Amino acid sequence: MGKPKIGVSIYSYGADIRRRRMSVKDAISHAASLGVDGIELVDKQHIPNYPYPSVYDLQDLRDYIESFGMVVSCYSTYVDRAVRSDREATREEMLKTICDQIGAARVLGARVIRPTILLSSRLSHDYEGFKAHAEEVADIIRVSLPYVKRYGLKWGTEVHAPMPPEVLCDMVKRINDKDAGLVPDFSVWAVRQQLATHIAGRSPLQSLRDIMPYAVHVHAKAHAFDGDGEEVNTPYRELLAIIKESGYDGYISAEFEGWWEGKDFDSRKIVEIHVNLLKKYL
C-alpha cells in the first residue's frame, strides 16, 4: 500500500460560496492550484439543481474536476427524514433517495459515497439510542450494497462526534463487506470545542487505530489555525501518524468548518493553510 492522498472538500470554501464571492468551480480550480489529488462534493451545497440534477450537470462537474488531473474522491450526501411536515420519511422513501444519490455518484465518477442518515426523533441521543440508530443504518446499507457494487463505489459511514466510534466499528464488522466501510472524521478526536455547534469527541487515539482497517475515506476536520498553521483543537500530528502507520492509501479531505456559524474567512488562505498542514505530517 502507498501513502494517503490529499484532497479538499469544497465545503471548506463555505464562507466565500455562501456570500457568492466564489462559485463551486472557482473553489475547484483553487484546490487544484494547491496540488491536491481529490475533490469532495456535498450534495445540497455543490450540485447544480439538486435534488434533481441532470446527467449533463453532473458530467460537466466531473469533466471540470478531471481537467485538472483530479478525481471526485467522495460524494457526501444527506438522507433527509423531514420530507413531509406530518411524519418522518419511511425506510422505503430513504432507500429511494439513496438509490438516486448512488446514481449521481456514479456519473460524478466518485470513489466513495458517504450517505449520512440522521438520527430519528424517536431515538435518544445516548449510547443506547446510537446503537439502535446503527442497527437501522446497517439494514439500509445491506439493502443498498448491491447497487453500490454495481457502480464500483464504496459506501462510507461517517464516524463523527458525538457518535461513539466503537458502535460504528462494530456495525461494519457485522456487515462484513469490503465495500461498506467507515469515514473517520477528526471531530471524534478533537480535544477542545471551538464553536457552539462544534462537538469535540475527545475519544482516545486507540479508537482511530481500531477504525483504520475499515476506512474508505477520511475527513480532516478543522475549525481554527494558529500562527504556525497548526489546528488548535485537534492533535493532527498524532492522528496523521496513526493513519500513515495503518497503511491507508485512500483520500484525506481537508474539511474546514470554522465558517459554519457565520464568521467570515478568506477561504483560499484557509484551505492553503489546511492543505500545507496535511502535507507537513504526511
Q: How many other β-carbons are positioned within 10 Å of the β-carbon of residue 252?
A: 27
Res. 98 pLDDT band, cuts 50 70 90: very high
| Region of poorest pLDDT, from 27-31, 117-121, 231-235, 278-282 | 117-121
Number of structural domains in the chain: 1
CATH number at residue 183: 3.20.20.150
Q: What residues make up the domain containing 125?
A: 5-281
Q: Is the peptide bond before 51 cis (omega within 30 degrees of 0)?
A: yes
The count of other CB atoms within 10 Å of the CB of residue 250 is: 23
pLDDT of residue 71: 98
Average pLDDT over residues 146-162: 97
pLDDT tens readout for residues 25-63: 999 999 999 999 999 999 999 999 998 999 999 999 999
The three cell numbers locating residue 124 = 435518544
Distance, CA of 221 to CA of 274 (rounded, Å): 10
Asked whether the whole model's pTM tops 0.85, one would answer: yes
What is the average pLDDT value for the chain, to the nearest integer? 96
Per-residue confidence (pLDDT) for residue 269, from 0 to 100: 98
Higher-confidence position of 190 and 2: 190
Going from the C-alpha of 88 to that of each of 28, 62, 83, 95, 246, the distances in angstroms are: 35, 33, 7, 13, 40
Q: Which three cell numbers, joined as nine digits, stand for 62? A: 466531473
- Give the type of residue at 129: G
pLDDT > 70? residue 1: no
> For residue 2, what pLDDT is reported?
78
Report pLDDT for 195. Answer: 80
Query: What are phi and psi for residue 239, nearest 5 degrees?
Result: -65, -45
- In whole angstroms, give the CA distance from residue 275 to residue 71: 17
Q: How far is CA 189 from CA 44, 154, 214, 234, in A?
A: 27, 24, 17, 7
Count CB neighbours of 44 within 10 A.
11
